[in-house]
Structure formats: C-alpha cells, structure tokens
Structure 1
Amino acid sequence: MQKEKLEKFKRRVSLGDLLTDRWENAREYGFGEGTSCYDNVLILGDVKVGAHTWIGPNTILDGSGGLMIGDHCSLSAGVQIYSHDTVRRSVTLGQAPIAYAPTRIGHGVYIGPNAIIAKGVTIGDGAVIGAMSFVNSDIPAGKKAWGTPACIAGDVVVADGVEQ
C-alpha cells in the first residue's frame, strides 16, 4: 500500500493516510465536494468547510464556537484556527467562563504554514495570510497580511493567474 501511495503522491505518507483517503475523510465530516483533509487533522465542534478546500497535515480546526471555511481555500500544514479561548478563565482561576466567538474564513483564502487564527476573526475572500502569522483581528477581502500580530501588507494582485 505504501508503494501505491508513493507512486500516486510522490512521497511517503503517515500510517493514517495509508489506511484512509483524504477526500473520504472530508466527506465523512460533511465538508464540501472535492475538499481533502489529512487523517491527522484535529477537528473539534461545529466546523463547516466548502468545496475544493485543501486542509494540510497537522492542522487544528476548532469549531467549538463555530467555524466556517469557504470554497477553494488552502490551509497549509500546521495551521491552527480557533473559535474559543480560555484566557479569562485561566487568569481568574476558573471564575470567568470560556470565551467563544465564531470564526470565518472566506472563499479563495490562502493561509501559510503554522499560522494561527484567533477566535472571532473573519478573513475576507481572496486574502493571503503569511506563514507563522498570528491573526487576532479581521483581515479584509483581497488583502495580504503577515506577522505577529498580523498586519496588512498590501493587496493581493493576481496577474495572468499568478499572485504578485
């Protein structure tokens, strides 16, 4: 089986991905047509994902407060998207409740490797988030942002099908 996967994907894959199919995983979660989801993705709560979205390995999708991800997105390896946090609960020694807020990722969004999206953030259609960024505020459609915390670095410009 490893040999078949090596020929098909040009790389070795984890045991979980040997035994399962990324597209079947996505279908079992009720994600959109053509979406793929590696076996080692952690999915919690209410997560909705559109069509033709790629969810990379070692990703965390926390839908405990509601998470919506659009069509034709790419979530690179190690991306973490949250819809809750326990900051106030922790610093108040359990007196404050866990905080929940829906998080939304628009259509055609690219999120670079190891980026973290905090609870309650909305990322607009066609936005690009740089690798290792921490996004704790909304990013408008068509903007590129990176850093910790992420700051808008300009517009996403597509010419002849190539981002610039």
Structure 2
Amino acid sequence: MNTNQIDSSAKIHPNVVLGQYNKIGKNVIIEILGNNPKAIANIGDNNIINDNTRIFIHGEFIVGDWNVFHNDMLIMPEDSMRIGHNCWFGQNTILDGAGGLEIGNGVRVGMYSQIWTHVASGEQIEGCILYAKRKTIINDDVWLVGSCVVGSGIVLGKRSTALINSVITKDTLPDRAYSGSPAKIMEHVKFYLPKTIDEKFDMLKIWMEEFIKINNETFKLEVNENELVLFNLKENENVILTKSETKKLDSTQSIFYLFDKTFNKTNSISERTIYKFLYNNKARFIPILKQGL
C-alpha cells in the first residue's frame, strides 16, 4: 500500500526510492540528472518536502526518517549527500553536495542558510587557484540558527551552535556556540544542561500526560516505575517508552529506549502520532532498524 502523499504537480524521477508516509508538496522536483549508472536516491519514512523545493541528483542522495525540508530549498547532491534522521531545514536553504555532504541526526538549519562543499571562480587556465571540492561534515544536533554560511571542507562538532548570520570558515568544537563573520567561539555560552536518566523520564511522563489530555478519547496512559505505556483504544496498539537498557528487538512492538535514544520502528498509527508530538523539540529518537541492529 502506498502511504505517501504526493501533490499532483510534483515531479519525481522514477528511480527515486521513497519509503512510507512521506509528504511531498506542490511543484517539488526530485530529478536524477546525467547518465551515472551508480546514481542513488533513497528517501526514508515520514519526511516532509515542502512546496517548490528542488533536488537535482548526479551521485548519491540518502535521507533517513522524520526530516523536514521547507519551501524553496535548493539541494544539489552532485557527488554525495547523506542526511540522517530528525533534521529540519528552513526555507530557501541551499545544500551543496559537489564535494560530499554528510549531515547527522537532529541537525537544525535555519532559513536562508547555505552549506557548501566546493568553491570555484576564475579560469584555471589563467592561473586561478580558487577551485576545490572538499567534504563537509555536520555532526548530530548541530544548530545553525539562520542565514548562516558554512564553507567547504569543514567539520561542525556535535551540538555546536552558530547564531544568526554566522559565516563558518573553520571547524567547530562540540557543545560550543559561535557567532560573527568569520564565526568565533562565544566564551561562557552553553545551550545544554546535564540531565540524568530519571530527570529525562520525568520529563517524558509530563509530556505524555499532556499528550493524553489532547488525545483522551483515543489513548490511555499507564505509568510504571521504569516505563510509560500508551494504549491506543481504537487501533488496539500500544507504545512503550522505557528507561530500561534491555532491548527487545521485536519488529512488531513499538518501544522507545530513553537510555540511548533509539526505538523499534513499526510505523504504526500510534507510534507516528506519539512521535510527531515529541520529535520537534522535546525528544528525538533514532530508529533501530535503520541502524542495522
């Protein structure tokens, strides 16, 4: 059964492999260009690609689950581009994959930002040396607030943040904040506070209680010492959120593991409804099956 919602005006190359429950808006173009027999375009589940976004693929384009690509983006996987899970890209953002672009999980890129993997200007025959293709790597949970520019060949450290209008010309350190042109580290600024597993579980409990208030005709919540169980009364399904480290790799059971932020993906109605409530800025999890575990 095809569960994707694709606007009739969208143009998608027949070799593009789409997962399930994706939403593709008006005038979206996903095109494979050229005659490269190794060109790959795989898009996972539960992604949103909004109106007028253009994706021109020459090489490899791999996208995970639960990503949002806003309006009017330009995405160019000339060499390769890999995007993980739970990422968000603002409108009019440019992603260049000429030299290879690797984007981790939970990355947030504000509108009008540009991420580059190549530079080219004058003629090489005239002696111009301003020409290079270099891989850019953006690690998990990086946040580019908006109108940021990232140069080619740069590695952005996990959970590093660049404030609005930052021009990033050098690698960034994990868990540090940057601003300016060129971007410089902001001393004494930190956007993450330490949380214990019990504190995280208590936060999930509060959020699930909020979820039940909104969906009280459909879901019922059971609170135990180490897990939260949500029952879907209409679909005869349940979803478990647990702080236990014992994994049950059962493809039929939706279980979210708090200790390492992974989950058994079933794509059930209940799972997608609950995760949609959580994944924006509350809590993000990585599907176990997509990790090959």
Shorter-chain TM-score: which interval? 0.7 to 0.9
Query: Paired residue for 1:31, among 44, 60, 63?
Result: 63
Q: Distance in 2 between matches of 1:33 and 1:124?
A: 22
**Secondary structure of the corresponding residue to residue 102 of structure 2:** strand
Q: Does 1:66 align with 2:90?
A: no
C-alpha contact (below 8 Å) 2:119/2:130 kept by paired residues: no
Per-residue Cα deviation, 1:96-149 (whole angstroms, up to 9, x for no partner): 473011001110110011100000111000100111011000001111001000
Per-residue Cα deviation, 1:17-38 (whole angstroms, up to 9, x for no partner): 4566x92439x95311101112
In structure 2, the residue matched to 1:125 is 158
C-alpha contact (below 8 Å) 2:136/2:155 kept by paired residues: yes
Letter in 1 for 2:152: K
TM-score if structure 2 supplies the norm length? 0.44
Q: Distance in 1 between matches of 2:124 and 2:181?
A: 22
Query: Paired residue for 2:118, among 60, 84, 109?
Result: 84
C-alpha contact (below 8 Å) 1:126/1:156 kept by paired residues: no
**Secondary structure of the corresponding residue to residue 138 of structure 1:** coil
Give the unaligned 5+ runs of structure 1.
1-15
Q: Max radius of gyration: which structure?
A: 2
What is the number of residues matched between the two proteins? 144
Q: Distance in 2 between matches of 1:103 and 1:30?
A: 15
Offset of 1:160 from its aligned partner? 7.5
Give the unaligned 5+ runs of structure 2.
1-23, 29-45, 56-60, 196-280, 282-293
Q: Distance in 1 between matches of 2:103 and 2:174?
A: 14
C-alpha contact (below 8 Å) 2:175/2:192 kept by paired residues: no
Q: Does 1:114 align with 2:147?
A: yes
TM-score if structure 1 supplies the norm length? 0.76
C-alpha contact (below 8 Å) 2:48/2:66 kept by paired residues: no
**Secondary structure of the corresponding residue to residue 100 of structure 2:** strand
Per-residue Cα deviation, 1:34-66 (whole angstroms, up to 9, x for no partner): 011124111112221110000111000001000
Q: Distance in 2 between matches of 1:143 and 1:102?
A: 22
C-alpha contact (below 8 Å) 1:130/1:144 kept by paired residues: yes
The 1:95–1:136 alpha-carbon spacing in structure 2 relative to 1, beyond 3 Å, is closer
Q: Whose relative contact order is higher, 1 or 2, with alpha carbons under 8 Å and at least 6 apart?
A: 1
**Secondary structure of the corresponding residue to residue 174 of structure 2:** coil
C-alpha contact (below 8 Å) 2:113/2:148 kept by paired residues: yes
Offset of 1:94 from its aligned partner? 6.3
In structure 1, the residue matched to 2:201 is none
C-alpha contact (below 8 Å) 1:43/1:62 kept by paired residues: yes
The correspondence of residues 1-164 of structure 1 with structure 2, limited to 5 A, is 17-18=25-26, 23-25=47-49, 30-44=62-76, 45=78, 46-87=80-121, 89=122, 93=126, 96=129, 98-154=131-187, 155-159=189-193
Q: Distance in 2 between matches of 1:19 and 1:65?
A: 27
Offset of 1:67 from its aligned partner? 0.5
Q: CA RMSD in A?
A: 2.9
Letter in 2 for 1:74: R
